[in-house]
């Protein structure tokens, strides 16, 4: 059994950087005592510690790390040990300039910052290999070792000559011939026909930015190159510690909301043992409700959970505030508990922080931490972390419990790349992520579980699949959706769907026939509106605003559910329903507000209650394991709310039993209710 | 008689890129059938086709082009054959890096995009010469050849060493001595005195941007260098096909509105046989009325028409939408006809499109086209193009008819350069083009024809010349205006006039005496206001807001027509009228809104009716030929409007005769009425 | 006695650039007559004149300068003679490219603009040395020579290899060992540990920007390097003309308001004999009252005056308008007198202009000047300058009079660097300068004199010291403030105070104990609010809005003066008062509006009247000399205001005596009242 599987606790702790404090032995000692008092159990070590691990080329120093790991072990703690490749020592950049990136303007970068090494550099790969192997050898058998943490927040790209060569090799392998590449990139446009592989250059603002096939392939190559680098990093661990899980921390942009768009995590997730991500919602902002932001966070959690259809880890979060938001506001009392519970509710098995202790200097010295500069156990943050630790201990039985959603929302990073690149429609922002979240929000509001899936996932388990704005659809995806509906699935699609294939080449001959058959409509035109323009849709006995995009469609078998009320396509269908095989498909031809989506999904989909009734802003989410359901009830409003329990249930967070009936949930309050699952 | 003169039809068709589809012979065949069905007759070929015409250095392939041209000939069509210099093959950039531009930051560009060759490169000029000569030799006698289209949308500049050398040579030729150049550039300021020609560098954000004389000369050089390149491109055609007209497509910014400001078309127009331009109004936007945008389009058409005082060609327009506006909205039904008629009304003899067929990939795949990705003859766009083709056939007798305006508005590109550069007044935007359009709008609203002329044009034919914000005035222009008024002309000028000479050197000794005599005023100060500041002007029995600029003037013979109502120059003159020689001159000292201009021009200028009375938003424009007037009546409002005909007239667009009296013109409706001209 | 001390007049005149007009001998002659007629007496010569002084390398021409200086002497005028290093001749850049700067992106600049030489370049230093020595030798004994003006508006930095080497040398000298440098920069963060001095690079957007210690040291180095360059420039003058004062013109950003932030003038002021600065308020803008802007100007004047605790010079100002503001509006009639008097009131002994005469060309041709392009003596500007000259003659006895403030406001440039750099709180703008000005404004409104001091100044002379947002405090500053209060001083401090030491390293263990003792409070948390968030403070019997920052504090001896009214820290102290030693300290924990500050300072500090009572917007300022007080009364409102004189006083500006009682002061009116000082 693997190391992580053996661990019965929910992970609580986070990034610990003793390498910044080696000159303060008292602090290192005090940290261990603080860790115990904070009820934490797991620490990520070694991220960015390369300069301390290998202070000179070939000279290694693990003594300090030995001490720290042993001390953590002594208090019963775990270590997630990181490879240091996220930042390299200055001596390396000085001796081997090839490790420095070249940016897209072809400017060689200077040493500085982090996450900025060339992924192609043989020297860098060699140096990483050496140190990773030493880590594997030295700590692979350590009892405290829980997991490997490869590098940190992989991202970015390098445009040096080595990377250009690797890109060309990647393209040769993909296309075999220049003719095929020229066709895929539609290179005859503007005489861009390539006659030699060496004519290929990565996209650049001082060169080519408008060849969409090139742009897409570059991003795919960057994903593959990053994964290749990651896999090479993993080699010593796979060889020497086959029972120790490996992860690397992914990123999510909660404000947008979407996963980090620089890499395609659908591919990357395949090669990590457990998904982990870094979550930084900006609570208490002045432009949205707490509930709205909570639904964005849930959206991302449901994405990372669905990547491997199992619980994931929050590898980083803040116990208080961050230092890189436009406004860095502190969490209000109670919010740290609530927001931590919120990620657990959607599939996390950890609450890990960046960072354990605030540094004294440099760019992250004001980023929130368990241990503040005051080093106090009495301050609000330390107290709340400590309290959360107690709760996590109480509810640890949820570890491994999963969520079985009957609704899937399809998010495709490659589609985002293509849409963002599309020179058409509204140029500045197509609002792909915002639109997905708007659909998601209906289900969050109604406490219906959703998997936010990538296009490679099986669909047959779902009763409803929602795939808005799937502009780029390869034939296999179209076929998959057809097959899903044919076998009884329900599918919702929208405007800006099915325009181009996987090379961003437009489908010829009108909307693809397989789609037209599937939805029973033909898309005639996409009408793009100015920001102040409005049309409206009459549907479900009411009238709803339409904006931004109104596609003009023709039914070919489908039944109109709503029609446009204005402009030259007045009275034409705007929303349709179609029977296809044993299933049904729905097409929403225009962008609408949440009011329409509420009416629409109320019509399209019903699901039994999650077991607890609650008012708006109180969210109910369920995880299940071994026939037991864990019902998370969370108040994301700024006032106390009533909830109604259909039966007596135990709140494992507190150990209290709640009677059947109505209860008041205080501001930011929550329950983790345990209920034996009913017979299916 | 030249090829184009022999053609009796209005040109209808546009950019055709079979070079993107050589691997799809069916599409090439189908295109010809579609061309016939769309009632089109003229196609621009070969733009950006270099990679297909010369796939390897020195290896040429014209077979595909032969086929296309022959097929177009077979359906009675014309070809406007382009030189391919707008985009070069990748092999050329790879082998001869000198053909790549260096940008103003002195960064060598990579291969990519288009319109980015160095104008100085001997190799590029040689390669262009070779291929152009081959085109001339092969197709010069082809019956289908109507015209040569040199390159595409010339623009931009290159700062490589070759261009620096050419710039220095150009300056030596202009100034002969460094002393004269130093004087013209006022180079002793900040010790910028040049003591060697090699010290000269083109303007750069990493070097010099504040020497206005240098900036002006650089832009003049760029215009001359571009024309020089163009003339060299023309050489084989002038030599081998003296009877075939040559054009190159100019550009206009309809939203601003002004012609492309990167080149001085006043000079460029002298060396083309027929002016053509690419017009892309953003119809149905959410910040102005359709009529307002129509007047901007008319303003630009009247500029391009006046460049050679004869009909011009719309070389590019879209049948539906573009892909590069911030919001790419489709033309509503009827707008394609109306907007096409609108350009014809102001002097175009063509409706040519970019593009015939949408490409499948790359940056312009969503730009509107006659043939959409659905390849359908049934869709709205194809149908409207086809209908327009029928109308163009009906009204083809207008070809060659011109407009005789009695009012001229002076637009000077060099003045725009100088004003945009001026470090004074409101720094961000002096609003030169917007101001000219605001004056123009009065005449458009009142159906009075206007020539938008460049400063080299004769003035004696006009009853009224309007020259707002002519900040930069060389002595010859001042003298020309004086002579015009002295001989009976009426002249309107405004604030920010006559400040500097052709080198952007300020006139010494107060406002130039010749101007002071001409207008009977002296300009004492230019008061620049903050955006929220307002003064007002009492004039014509009413009071009007003044903003942005209020010049404080003193009459010296002129009669005040209006006075300021506030601030320390309260009660001083703001608008004046002056008798000079046999004419009259008017000076508007402050920026006003349209309300003032309406009152002012109602007072200053009257013209007999254009023959048809119409309500606001319905525009009436006239073209004349052989004693016949063609009266275009166009409804640019969103509802039906009444028009009144003083007599019975034939609408040649429909063949219907309209009786004397009142008629209703539907939304976006139009007539092309034919009337024998009255005796003068 | 030094040259400047012998001069009894207030300086009136400014930058004169005859070097631009050598080809126009008539203009040079006319200038002298105009100078007399404008009642001016002092001219800065030679700024940017290098190309005329040394037209070829090693070939010098002083003849023209001899003539100009002699002519100025002939009319009884003074010359402030500048070194020409602010702009070099083109031949120098061409022959010695090392003199050109490299920007922070490591791009070598081209020749152009000004103020852009490398401070390290040995060649540049050598060339400057040669020409400065020649100036010293030739003009050191000239009777008209009043002062040396070194270069012009020093600023900017260079990142070339020579500067990198000098930076490393500077760091070696400061830190001695890399270990100490690594500790100061907290370099172990992200493995930034340096193991070789050559690994150090100046901050760069293509390298490192987040190491705050590096950023701070770079700015300190740039200040030291600039001063070193300045001192080297001074050498010939110190050696040959020990009795002639030396200055260089500093800069201030009136709109912000703060002194130029590129250099630390606290250090620079030590090596100039007399402080001078260039003041360009944007009068009559559309977003603040005239009085508000006047208080910003006063704030800066009080800073420059306090730098050496003696009168300073306005080295540049405009008689009318500038050309580089976003909107360049002319001063209304009377404003030139008033704004000039306003700087005299706060310690200036001069009104010097940029520029004497408008140039004909290049970037500053529209910048205001005494002599306009019209060359007229009759225009408004010349008339007002001339009138001001008469007034300056009338009031010249104020020369040398100083202001004795009992209130000091601490402005620290290094603190601004650190705050602007801080990755925390509101990221975009911490509003340090705006906050200082808001505190200052209370005193300006109440006609109480304030010294805006740097942290090196003695405090014992003050009854009240205000040090808002002193984020960065070295131990010595903390100790100085403690000692000040302990000995009876009153101190006001605010949120964002005492966070980091001089290396931007955060104080460990909570708010520093010495501060906690001093203020009797502990700072627990800094709550950063979103722009629309509001808390409120109940204090002084009223309630005031709190915004942006609310620090949560705990009293430890202090008495609360106000408490928060909302959020989780409701009812906790927001404003406190504490007795410490013989003095008192006040802590304002939240950002407030002016309403709170009015109430607070009314409570904290009272001062006897300045001798004249006036309404809001009328400012009273006092300078004193030899037992005489000069009371400046200035109306900064847009209407006439009443003032009340407690006794009969002489207005030396007019020679009129004003009786005791109430008088009306017209719009923009002023008095300079003389009163024998009462016995202390």
Chain B nearest-CA residue for C16:
B189
CA distance C285 to chain A (A): 29
- Please report which residue ranges of A241-278 form alpha helices under DSSP H: 265-268
Paired tokens of C637? 């409102």
A206 interface with C at CB cutoff 8 Å: no
The H or E element spanning position B396 is: none
Note the pLDDT of residue A122. 98
Q: Which residues of C touch A375 (CB under 8 A)?
A: 508-510
Asked whether the CA dihedral B292, B294, B298, B301 is positive or negative, the reply is: positive
Cα separation values, B166 from B86, B122, B201, B210, Å: 21, 12, 11, 21
What average pLDDT does this structure show over B292-319?
98
- For residues C303 and C347, give the distance between their C-alpha atoms in angstroms, rounded to a whole number: 10
Q: Residue B412: which of B456, B442, B464, B450 has the closest Cα? A: B456
Q: Which residues contact C29 (CB under 8 A, 6 or more apart)?
A: none
Give the pLDDT confidence of A287-333 residue by residue, as tens digits. Answer: 999 999 999 999 999 999 999 999 999 999 999 999 999 999 999 99
What average pLDDT does this structure show over A546-573?
98
Tell me if B506 and C111 make a contact (CB, 8 A cut-off).
Answer: no
Choosing from B54, B98, B233, B316, which is the catalytic residue? B316
Paired tokens of A504? 């961003």
Residue B677 pLDDT exceeds 90: no
Cα–Cα–Cα angle for C36, C40, C44, rounded to 5 degrees:
115
Edge-to-edge strand list for the sheet holding A656-658: A618-625, A628-635, A670-676, A649-651, A656-658
User: What residues in chain C have per-residue pLDDT under 70?
Assistant: 1, 677-680
Note the pLDDT of residue B676. 81
Note the pLDDT of residue A677. 66
What average pLDDT does this structure show over B134-138?
98
- For residues A400 and A348, give the distance between their C-alpha atoms in angstroms, rounded to a whole number: 9
DSSP secondary structure string for all residues of A286-331: SSS-HHHHHHHHHHHHHHHHHHHTS-BEEEE--SS--SSSSB-PPP
Cis peptide before A355 (omega within 30 of 0): yes
Cα separation values, B331 from A547, A554, B318, C440, Å: 17, 19, 9, 59
Cα separation values, B567 from B85, B533, B570, B588, C284, Å: 58, 11, 5, 18, 12
Mutate to test the interface with B, among A180, A185, A188, A505 (most CBs of B within 10 A): A188
Note the pLDDT of residue A608. 82
Give the pLDDT confidence of B334-366 residue by residue, as tens digits. Answer: 999 999 999 999 999 999 999 999 999 999 999
What average pLDDT does this structure show over A465-475?
98
Chain C nearest-CA residue for B211:
C362
Of B17, B94, B326, nearest to A196 by CB-CB distance is B94
Mean pLDDT (chain B) is: 97
Tell me if A189 and B359 make a contact (CB, 8 A cut-off).
Answer: yes
Note the pLDDT of residue A678. 61
Note the pLDDT of residue C1. 67
What is residue B485's three-state secondary structure?
Answer: helix
Residue A680 pLDDT exceeds 60: no
Tell me if B362 and A192 make a contact (CB, 8 A cut-off).
Answer: yes
A664 CB burial (10 A radius; 0-12, 13-18, 19+): exposed
Tell me if B328 and A424 make a contact (CB, 8 A cut-off).
Answer: yes
Note the pLDDT of residue C608. 82
The H or E element spanning position A650 is: strand A649-651
Check if the beta carbon of residue B193 is closer than 8 Å to that of residue C89.
Answer: yes
Q: A: neighbours with 3+ CB pairs under 8 Å?
A: B, C
Catalytic annotation present for A577:
no
Check if the beta carbon of residue C589 is closer than 8 Å to that of residue C494.
Answer: yes
What is residue C504's three-state secondary structure?
Answer: coil
- For residues B587 and B493, give the distance between their C-alpha atoms in angstroms, rounded to a whole number: 5
A323 interface with C at CB cutoff 8 Å: yes
Choosing from C54, C245, C316, C384, which is the catalytic residue? C316
Check if the beta carbon of residue B351 is closer than 8 Å to that of residue B43.
Answer: no
Check if the beta carbon of residue B458 is closer than 8 Å to that of residue B412.
Answer: no
CA distance B188 to chain C (A): 5
What average pLDDT does this structure show over B38-44?
98
Q: B: neighbours with 3+ CB pairs under 8 Å?
A: A, C
A192 interface with B at CB cutoff 8 Å: yes
CA distance C554 to chain A (A): 12
Query: Could you tell me how many CB contacts below 8 A there are between chain A and chain B?
Result: 176
C-alpha Rg value of chain A to the nearest Å: 26
Q: Which residues contact A274 (CB under 8 A, 6 or more apart)?
A: A4, A147, A245, A247, A308, A310, A312, A313
Give the pLDDT confidence of A650-662 residue by residue, as tens digits. Answer: 999 999 999 999 9
Give the residue carrying structure tokens 């990073």: A413
Q: How many CB atoms lie within 10 A of CB A196?
A: 12
- For residues A195 and A203, give the distance between their C-alpha atoms in angstroms, rounded to a whole number: 18
Q: Which residues of A touch C530 (CB under 8 A)?
A: 284-287, 327, 329
The H or E element spanning position B658 is: strand B656-658
- For residues A134 and A120, give the distance between their C-alpha atoms in angstroms, rounded to a whole number: 22
Mutate to test the interface with A, among C108, C190, C211 (most CBs of A within 10 A): C190
Banded model confidence at residue A344, pLDDT cuts 50, 70, 90: very high
Banded model confidence at residue B678, pLDDT cuts 50, 70, 90: low
Q: Which residues contact C318 (CB under 8 A, 6 or more apart)?
A: C280, C331, C353, C354, C367, C368
Note the pLDDT of residue C680. 44
A549 interface with B at CB cutoff 8 Å: no
CB hemisphere CA count around C574 (13 angstroms): 29
User: Which is it for strands B78-82 and B42-45: parallel, antiparallel or unpaired?
Assistant: parallel
- For residues C634 and C228, give the distance between their C-alpha atoms in angstroms, rounded to a whole number: 41
Strands of C556-640, DSSP E: 559-564, 573-580, 583-588, 590-592, 613-614, 618-625, 628-635
Chain B nearest-CA residue for A512:
B374
C503 interface with B at CB cutoff 8 Å: no
Which string of b and e fits A314-326 if b means at least 16 CB within 10 Å?
bbbbbbbbbbebe
C506 interface with A at CB cutoff 8 Å: yes
Note the pLDDT of residue B680. 44
A389 CB burial (10 A radius; 0-12, 13-18, 19+): buried
Catalytic annotation present for C387:
no
Q: C: neighbours with 3+ CB pairs under 8 Å?
A: A, B
Note the pLDDT of residue C677. 66
Residue B590 pLDDT exceeds 90: yes
- Please report which residue ranges of C176-317 form alpha helices under DSSP H: 178-184, 212-240, 265-268, 290-308
Choosing from A54, A245, A316, A384, which is the catalytic residue? A316
A568 interface with B at CB cutoff 8 Å: yes
Choosing from C54, C98, C153, C384, which is the catalytic residue? C153
- For residues A440 and A452, give the distance between their C-alpha atoms in angstroms, rounded to a whole number: 9
């Amino acid at each position: 059994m693997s190391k992580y599987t053996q661990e019965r606790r929910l992970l609580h702790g986070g990034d610990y950087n003793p390498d910044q404090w080696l000159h303060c032995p008292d602090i290192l000692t005090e940290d261990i005592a603080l860790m115990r008092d904070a009820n934490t159990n797991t620490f990520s070590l070694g991220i960015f510690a390369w300069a301390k691990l290998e202070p000179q080329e070939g000279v290694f120093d693990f003594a300090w790390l030995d001490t720290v790991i042993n001390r953590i072990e002594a208090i019963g703690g775990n270590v997630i040990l990181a490879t240091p490749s996220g930042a390299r020592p200055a001596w390396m950049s000085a001796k081997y300039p090839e490790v420095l990136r070249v940016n897209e303007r072809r400017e060689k970068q200077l040493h500085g910052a982090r996450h900025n090494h060339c992924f192609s550099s043989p020297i860098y790969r060699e140096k990483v290999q050496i140190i990773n192997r030493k880590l594997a050898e030295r700590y692979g058998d350590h009892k405290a070792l829980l997991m490997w943490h490869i590098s940190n927040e992989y991202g970015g790209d390098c445009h040096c000559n080595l990377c250009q060569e690797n890109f060309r090799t990647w393209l040769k392998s993909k296309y075999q011939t220049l003719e095929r590449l020229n066709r895929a990139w539609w290179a005859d446009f503007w005489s861009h026909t390539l006659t030699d592989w060496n004519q290929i250059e990565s996209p650049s603002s001082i060169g080519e930015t408008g060849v969409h096939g090139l742009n897409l392939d570059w991003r795919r190559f960057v994903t593959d190159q990053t994964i290749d680098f990651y896999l090479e990093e993993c080699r010593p661990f796979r060889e020497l510690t086959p029972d120790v899980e490996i992860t690397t921390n992914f990123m999510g942009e909660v404000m947008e909301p979407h996963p980090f768009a620089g890499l395609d995590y659908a591919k990357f997730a395949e090669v990590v043992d457990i998904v982990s991500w870094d979550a930084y919602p900006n609570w208490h902002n002045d432009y949205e409700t707490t509930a709205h932001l909570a639904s964005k966070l849930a959206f991302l959690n449901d994405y990372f959970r669905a990547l491997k259809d199992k619980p994931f880890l929050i590898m980083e979060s803040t116990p208080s505030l961050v230092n890189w938001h436009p406004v860095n506001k502190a969490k209000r009392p109670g919010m740290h508990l609530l927001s931590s519970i919120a990620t657990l509710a959607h599939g996390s098995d950890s609450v890990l922080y960046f960072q354990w202790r605030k540094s004294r200097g440099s760019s992250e010295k004001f980023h929130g931490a368990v241990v503040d500069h005051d080093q106090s156990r009495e301050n609000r943050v330390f107290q709340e972390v400590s309290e959360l630790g107690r709760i996590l201990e109480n509810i640890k039985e949820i570890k491994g419990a999963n969520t079985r959603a009957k609704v899937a929302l399809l998010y495709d990073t490659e589609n985002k790349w293509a849409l963002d690149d599309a020179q058409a429609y509204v140029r500045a922002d197509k609002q792909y992520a915002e639109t997905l979240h708007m659909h998601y929000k209906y289900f969050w509001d109604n406490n219906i579980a959703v998997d936010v899936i990538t296009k490679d996932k099986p669909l047959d388990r779902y009763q409803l699949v929602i795939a808005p704005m799937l502009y780029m659809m390869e034939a296999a995806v179209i076929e998959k959706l057809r097959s899903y509906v044919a076998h009884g699935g329900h599918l919702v699609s929208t405007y800006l769907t099915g325009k181009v294939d996987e090379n961003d080449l437009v489908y010829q001959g009108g909307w693809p026939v397989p789609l037209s058959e599937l939805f029973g409509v033909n898309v005639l035109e996409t009408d793009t509106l100015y920001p102040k323009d409005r049309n409206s849709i009459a549907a479900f006995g009411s009238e709803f605003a339409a904006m931004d995009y109104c596609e003009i469609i023709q039914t070919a078998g489908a039944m109109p559910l709503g029609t446009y009320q204005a402009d030259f396509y007045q009275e034409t269908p705007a929303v349709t329903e179609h029977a296809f095989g044993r299933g049904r498909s729905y097409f929403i031809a225009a962008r609408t507000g949440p009011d329409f989506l509420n009416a629409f999904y109320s019509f399209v989909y019903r699901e039994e209650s999650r077991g607890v009734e609650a008012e708006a802003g109180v969210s109910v989410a369920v995880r299940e394991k071994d026939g037991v359901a864990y019902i998370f009830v969370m108040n994301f409003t700024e006032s106390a709310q009533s909830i109604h329990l259909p039966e007596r249930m135990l709140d494992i967070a507190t150990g209290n039993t709640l009677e059947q009936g109505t209860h008041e949930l205080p501001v930011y309050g929550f329950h983790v209710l345990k209920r034996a699952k009913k017979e299916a």
